[in-house]
Amino acid sequence: MPEMRIIRSYIDREDSHTIESYMLAGGYTALAKALKLDPDEIINTIKESGLRGRGGAGFPTGVKWSFIDKESKKPIYLCCNADESEPGSFKDREIIEKDPHQMLEGIIICCYAVNARKSYIYIRGEMPRGAAILEHAIEEAHDKGFLGDNILGSGFGCEVIVFRGAGAYICGEETALLESIEGKNGEPRPKPPFPAQVGLFDCPTVVNNVETLACVPHIINRGAEWFSSIGTPKNTGTKIYGLSGSINRPGLYELPLGTTIRELIYEYGGGISGGREVKAISPGGSSSAFLTKDDLDLPLDFDTMAKAGTMLGTAGVTVIDDRTSLARVAQNLAHFYRDESCGQCVQCREGTWWLEKMFTKILEGKGKMEYLDTILDACSQMRGTTICALADGCAMPIESIVRKFRPEIEEHIRLGKCPFGSEDLGDWDG
């Protein structure tokens, strides 16, 4: 097991969210160290560590920071993405509530490295507790001189503002997040230009995930080489895997990147609940394509998952057992994405609606075999054709269900009812 703990080993302490608790474990020593370094040295260290974004896409963090024009005449911003609304993902909330200073220290170091004087933490509206904890942590950091003007006598100063969203999944997409902070509807912007060039209020902006920023103090304190020695050569460091679904011990497990699905499920998660078997695995939040039980020995890292036709995404791993209806899973997913689509793109607005409609018909016993090819056709038209990746996030898992588990869906259609007795249509309002 690596020594690095993003969710610290003393997290069970009731006061783990306080600055006293954080400083007892060496908190804010990385900030003091960073403020004595040249900002470019920090960016190079982050590049050399191989840290890749933990928000979904796995983009190299140091490279992202190096895109910022530090001499810009405009203000530079950092937005910490704490929206975490992806079904199956619940790692950021734990960092926010149990160890907020860790991400805060990462935020301040990033601000110094890219010359940002203001940072926003965009937190999901349904996390009032997290928002209150963050507000309190910011006050504590101010009182200790880690925020405000002239931090630790360095001459550098910055402020952090908590911005609460209103509960839309799409506001986790980085450009929708920027629109939302600007007071507009949370609708993604076409890219390019990317936020590093034209971001918040048209100014250069870094957008990073909570877990990404929480890694930064560890890298500054212990070095790039230490971080890159964990995991695999191009997938370095630890990752917080969120394990849920039909599992005996669901929860968060911080492990080296590249831990296999089998190890995660059986060694850490205690195996499948109810003595059942694995049927399908969603490896990276609800937007990732499903894997099958034949993939159990694949390492959970960005590159292996991409090669397997899916993605590591948020590493929210959901296990589906052999008695769960995948037609029901597909209908549920389509319902979610249809509800959350911002509606700007026809392929997404109409595609998610049709996918939900067809799977609902199947669940109602009114499905037709020809729907399956129509579903695949709709999915292929939704992929890579829209302003943001929400449409892909709906198409990928559904396409994988139809391609990899077609006989089960066909049986559902043939029988005119669920082979597993799952007739509940949830909150379908079609």
Ligand X SMILES: Cc1cc2nc3c(=O)[nH]c(=O)nc-3n(C[C@H](O)[C@H](O)[C@H](O)COP(=O)(O)O)c2cc1C
Three-state SS string over 265-327 comes to HHHHCCCEHHHCCEEEEECCCCCCCCEEHHHCCCECCHHHHHHCCCCCCCCEEEEEECCCCHH
Handedness of CA 104, 5, 302, 251 (dihedral sign): negative
Q: Phi, psi at residue 107, to the nearest 5°?
A: -65, -45
What gap in Å lies between CA 403 and CA 376, rounded to an integer? 8
> Looking at 295-303, 314-322, 344-352, 405-413, which segment touches ligand SF4 (CB under 6 A)?
344-352
- The dihedrals phi and psi of 232, each to the nearest 5 degrees, come to -120, 165
Q: Does 195 bind ligand X (CB under 6 A)?
A: no
Q: Select from 98-106, 213-221, 235-243, 335-343 the region that touches ligand SF4 (CB under 6 A).
A: 335-343
Q: What values do phi and psi take at 88, rounded to 5? A: 95, 0
How far is residue 164 from each of residues 83, 125, 135, 183, measured CA to CA in Å? Answer: 9, 5, 11, 12
Question: Binding marks (x or -) toward ligand SF4, 140..179, rule CB under 6 A?
Answer: ------------------------------x---------
Q: Which amino acid is at 324?
A: T
Distance of closest approach, residue 419 Cβ to ligand X, in angstroms: 32
List CB contacts of 211: < 8 A, sequence separation 6 or more: 6, 54, 55, 91, 92, 95, 240
Contact 298, 264 (CB under 8 A): no
- Total chain residues near ligand X (CB under 6 A): 23
Binding to ligand X (CB under 6 A): which residues in 301-360?
none
- 61, 55 Cβ separation under 8 angstroms: no
- The structure tokens listed for 156 are 């550098």
DSSP codes, 4-67: --SS-TTTTSTTTTSHHHHHHTTTTHHHHHHTTS-HHHHHHHHHHHT-B-TTTT--BHHHHHHT
In this chain, which of 102, 209, 360, 386 binds ligand X, going by CB under 6 A?
A: 209
Among ligand X, ligand SF4, none, the one that 343 touches (CB under a kind-dependent 5 to 8 A) is ligand SF4
Minimum distance from residue 399 beta carbon to ligand SF4 (Å): 16
Q: Does residue number 333 form part of the binding site for ligand SF4 (CB under 6 A)?
A: no
Nearer to ligand X, 23 or 57 (CB): 57
- Of 185 and 248, the one with the shorter C-beta distance to ligand SF4 is 185
**Which of 47, 349, 357, 417 contacts ligand SF4 by CB under 6 A?**
349
- The binder of 209, among ligand SF4, ligand X, none, by C-beta within 5 to 8 A per type, is ligand X
276 vs 349, which CB is nearer to ligand SF4? Answer: 349
For residue 58, the minimal CB distance to ligand X (Å) is: 7
- Contact between 386 and ligand SF4 per CB under 6 A: yes
Contact partner, 387, from ligand SF4, ligand X, none, Cβ < 5-8 Å per class:
ligand SF4
Q: Which residue is listed with tokens 């590591």?
A: 312
Residue 122 CB, shortest distance to ligand X, in Å, is 9
170 near ligand X, rule: CB under 6 A: yes
Residue 102 binds to ligand SF4 (criterion: CB under 6 A)? no
Q: What is the CA radius of gyration of the chain?
A: 22
The site for ligand SF4 (CB under 6 A) is made up of 170, 188, 341-345, 348-349, 386-388, 390-391
The site for ligand X (CB under 6 A) is made up of 53-57, 59, 81, 83-86, 170, 172-174, 207-209, 212, 388-390, 393
